[in-house]
Structure 1
């Protein structure tokens, strides 16, 4: 890869933003013109790729939340069953 180049990153708000990368840092990071270190897995060639990656990440987060909610529902049902059995 030749420097400088422009790549896309997702901000913490998931808004895609173009960044100018000026050099490599080790084999895993590139450095922006503002001195920020970005992992190679978080740099995308286009805005579309950044959006697709963000959408995939949100889907994975939603799946994890759904699984946690299912476990909470099972535990709540167990507690309600135990509470019903404990009443005289």
Structure 2
């Protein structure tokens, strides 16, 4: 793992998918499972490999990728639901 120098600024996506710039001031932990986490000026921890992006454009691109993944998951679920509906309709017709 490469050491990061503090403070530094990065971009994160809020749960609303709004990109926001944050200032990271220290490492959350230097050992264990939290060594890739940084702490913001407000005290919130962020995973530097999963949650932080170097630019606003990179954060927006990652958000679009996440939305594409969610849409694909919804399409798969809808296909399964439609198959179940068809099975129930078929069973109803033969009853």
Fold shared, TM-score > 0.5 on shorter chain = yes
CA RMSD of aligned residues (A): 0.6
CA distance in 2, matches of 1:31, 1:78: 52
- TM-score, normalised by the number of residues in structure 1: 0.95
Task: Check if 1:11 corresponds to 2:19.
Answer: no
- Which ranges of structure 2 fall in alignment gaps of 5 or more residues? 30-34
1:37 corresponding residue in structure 2: 45
Q: Which runs of 4+ in 1 moved over 2 A?
A: none
Matched positions, count: 86
**Structure (1 or 2) with the greater helix fraction:** 1
Structure number with larger C-alpha Rg: 1
Q: Provide the TM-score with structure 2 as the length reference.
A: 0.88
Give the deviation of 1:45 after TM superposition. 0.1
Cα distance between partner residues in 2 of 1:72 and 1:30: 41
After superposition, the C-alpha distances for 1:9-37 in whole angstroms (9 at most, x for unaligned) are 00010000000000011212100000000
Residue in 2 that maps onto 1:71? 80
Deviation of 1:84 after TM superposition, in Å, equals 0.4
